[in-house]
Amino acid sequence: MPHVITSPCVSVKDQACTEVCPVECIYDAGDQFLIHPDECIDCGACVPACPVSAIFPEEDVPAGEQEFIVKNRAHFGL
């Protein structure tokens, strides 16, 4: 499963996650970064790099953050 960036990233957009991603699947989506689900290799390198703890494996996204799974897929037309 791909990783998903959730609400703590909104308006913060620290680029640490983009710098460690080996496949460059993290994109600037205006108010936050989003991870392309078809490009993500599920390596998890972005998780510890995120200073606001906004990144989760899709299956572990907290209940109150589920809308970001939908937002992420919709952004990439999936």
Q: Where are the beta strands (DSSP E) in the chain?
A: 3-5, 26-28, 33-35, 55-57
Give the model confidence (pLDDT) of 50-75 as tens digits: 999 999 999 999 999 999 999 999 99
Please tell me the distance from the alpha carbon of residue 56 to that of residue 77, in angstroms, as a whole number.
20
Nearest alpha-carbon partner for 68 in 12, 10, 14? 10
Amino acid at 33: F
Domain that holds residue 18: 3-75
- Please tell me the predicted confidence (pLDDT) of residue 1: 65
The CATH number of residue 34's host domain is: 3.30.70.20
**Within 10 A of 63 (CB to CB), how many other CB atoms are there?**
5
Please tell me the distance from the alpha carbon of residue 5 to that of residue 7, in angstroms, as a whole number.
7
- Please tell me the predicted confidence (pLDDT) of residue 13: 87
Q: Looking at the 3D structure of the chain, how many domains does it have?
A: 1
